[in-house]
Structure 1
Amino acid sequence: MRDLINTLDVETGADALATTAGLAAFAHRHGLTEPEAVKRNLPDIVRLREGLRAACLAHTGTPVPEEALAELDAVLRRAPLTLTLDEEGTATLAPADGLTDVPALTARIAAAVAVAASDGTWRRLKVCEAPDCRWAYYDRSPAGRRRWCDMAVCGSRAKMRAYRARRTSGARGGSGTPGRT
């Protein structure tokens, strides 16, 4: 999931899925063997990526826009899952029989989300709150309340912007400006 979300670097605009080489590398890493099918289904891959980005951003407190949810739901509906049980009674979600390439990838991601949701780790997969970043990361903090992928970069920028905004609004209002009476 995180690998797919991070194929787009929001800050630079570099999209690994936008180039033939990048798309081929992604396809190879994820076992997608039909290059033409991958190209043909690229809009669904991008919708899946952006829907997952929106869902993971919600884990930091930003609600998922209805349009993003509808797009994500539409992509996920085309990749059904099957529940199987083994001899020991262990349940496993897997792509439905007959799914290949992009629908199979989508189903594998959906199964991973379902498992992560059941064990509580799904809410820890987050997207950086910084609008110029939006990088996916796993929140390993004890309280699970991180909002930025990197406190030293994105967190510092956000806190500096907030500080400057407070200083600017304080200066305009006249009161609250340090050293003035």
Structure 2
Amino acid sequence: MTDRPPPEALVLVQELTNTLDVETGEDSLAAPGGMEEFARRHGIEGLGGGASAARQLAVLRELREALRAACLAHTGTDMPSGASEALGRRLAEAPLVVAVDGAGRATLRPAEGLTGPALLTARVAAGIATAEADGTWQRLKACPAHDCLWVFYDRSPAGRGRWCSMAVCGSRAKMRTYRAKRR
């Protein structure tokens, strides 16, 4: 697990996908007050608590795992069709508008009036679109170690980083390869 921060447009995507620690199984969104804490940190109104909390958690988990699959695909694997369809469905439910500032610069932002999972998804969609436009989306990757899958931003010069940490996951993979060759 690395501390290479992504560009601002991708921070929310990275933080959402990393709410599940695959190695320990700890899901910070499912912890008591977890969704509310995540919502507070990211300024998302209407997320967590109340009668719809279980439904919101299911939506966030589906979005999180579909985003993780997309980030894993950035390492050269194919994205499972189910994850691709889920991500497409969630992003289609996130209305965006183009806002133009006083200098004439255009940006994507969530449509007015969104709250809860719809607002979160719209912010994720705007971040992905911005990152795709500036070429940084493909650098947000999931570690291919099946017991890790931590999402990290690849800051390597060529953009070919594979592991969240060479000291941990990369080293383990190289050792497994070495041992397999020695057998």
Task: Give the alignment's TM-score, normalised by structure 2.
Answer: 0.87
Give the match for residue 16 of structure 2: 4
For the residue of structure 1 that corresponds to 2:99, the secondary structure is strand
Distance in 1 (CA, whole Å) between partners of 2:72 and 2:129 is: 17
For the residue of structure 1 that corresponds to 2:109, the secondary structure is strand
Distance in 1 (CA, whole Å) between partners of 2:96 and 2:45 is: 20
Distance in 2 (CA, whole Å) between partners of 1:10 and 1:31 is: 26
Give, in angstroms, the shift of residue 40 of structure 1. 3.1
**Aligned counterparts, 1:87-166, within 5 A:** 87-166=102-181
Is the contact made by 1:5 and 1:52 (CA closer than 8 Å) also made in structure 2?
yes
Structure ID, larger Rg: 1
Question: Number of residues paired by the alignment?
Answer: 168
Q: What are the superposed Cα offsets for residues 101-142 of structure 1, whole Å, 9 maximum, x if unpaired?
A: 210111011000000001011111111111110001111111
Matched letter for residue 83 of structure 1: V
Greater mean deviation of Cα atoms: 22-31 or 156-165: 22-31
Task: Give the alignment's TM-score, normalised by structure 1.
Answer: 0.88
Superposed structure 1 runs of 4+ greater than 6 Å apart: none
Structure possessing the higher relative contact order (Cα contacts under 8 Å, 6 or more residues apart): 2
**Structure 1 residues 79 and 109, CA, compared in 2 at 3 Å: closer, same or farther?**
same
Is the contact made by 1:38 and 1:101 (CA closer than 8 Å) also made in structure 2?
no
For the residue of structure 2 that corresponds to 1:137, the secondary structure is strand
Matched letter for residue 7 of structure 1: T
Gaps of 5+ in 2: 1-12
